Amino acid sequence: MTIDPEAEYYAVFKTEKGDIRIKLFAAEAPVTVNNFVFLARDGFYNNTHFHRVLENFMAQGGDPTNSGAGGPGYQFQDEIVASLQFDRAGLLAMANAGPNTNGSQFFITFAETPWLNGNHTIFGEVVEGMEVLFSISLRDPRAAASPGDLLETVEIEEGE
């Protein structure tokens, strides 16, 4: 599957607390958006959890094991775009373990996080549902026994 980088794509995160609608940056990060769209359409994110949610920082998900160590079984390169900066809340980016180690895990920022600039591919922005994002329960995976808030599914929409 290959996306059309000229088309508009939206991801709707259906959570137990409501929906978060995110515009994906297909033109700026086509490989990352293609990967995310493929995984979402394949049901990879269904019934996973926000396994790491840190106050004033971000909510992280996309791990099928809900441990923080899982992924799709492959990695791909970063798509760092200088004009996309971690200068506001609501940015969707790839979580990674270092340069060019992207897989399936993502995070959405709760605030400006400039120390992440140049280290994580930004590939979308929340356009609806910021109140849902801010309602996701905080969870430090090193201290929490519960699995974290449920991400029921990610639906992909094309067009406006």
The residue from 44, 46, 75, 116 that is catalytic is 116
Annotated active-site residue 117? The verdict is: no
The residue from 21, 44, 54, 57 that is catalytic is 57
The residue from 96, 102, 105, 133 that is catalytic is 96
Annotated active-site residue 57? The verdict is: yes
Annotated active-site residue 96? The verdict is: yes
Nearest to 108 by CA among 123, 90, 121: 90
Annotated active-site residue 52? The verdict is: yes
The residue from 49, 51, 120, 139 that is catalytic is 120
Annotated active-site residue 41? The verdict is: no
The residue from 25, 36, 51, 60 that is catalytic is 60
**What residues act catalytically?**
52, 57, 60, 96, 107, 116, 120
